[in-house]
Amino acid sequence: MTARFTIDEILTPLALTVIIDNKIRDPEMREFVTQAEGLIEALDDFEHMPTKNMMTWFHTNEGELIKKLKGRSKNTFILKTLTRFKGSDALIEAMYDAMLAISISDKEYHEDESELIKSAASLWGHVRPPFKVVKSK
């Protein structure tokens, strides 16, 4: 896969998948690193990024991402983040798979995660996987 993306553009959709349900769990963080490593390795734009650096990136950007997800422009922010990948079929498929893997890694699939995955599926032309979302009480 060859494309021109920044580290922020690659890691932001993955990080959103981790934090959108307001619960950051160890399985999601491990999957974030695994999926990020795979995406970065597949792109010719970057050299290997150590796990420590990915975790640093996440924690450095977490507050701003949470702020944007809680803000009035949440949907616009998500749309801009996801539409950056139009026209890059191999990367889109890899990104979609990565986001899905992160979203189910904690064995919980929340409504907000479902909406994010549904948005990605719609924008990228994928059929949304058949997960049933149970609302928390």
Containing structural domain, residue 50: 7-124
Count the domains in the chain. Answer: 1
What is the pTM assigned to this prediction? Answer: 0.86
Question: pLDDT at position 36, please?
Answer: 93
Return the pLDDT at 132. Answer: 54
Is residue 47 a part of any domain in this protein? yes
Tell me, yes or no, whether 134 lies in a domain: no
DSSP 73-123: THHHHHHHHHHTTTT-HHHHHHHHHHHHHHHHTTS---HHHHHHHHHHHHH
Q: Is residue 101 part of a domain?
A: yes
In a domain, 130, yes or no: no
pLDDT digits (tens, 9 = 90+) for 83-105: 988 766 888 999 999 999 999 89
Confidence of residue 109 (pLDDT cuts 50, 70, 90): confident
State the pLDDT at residue 135: 53
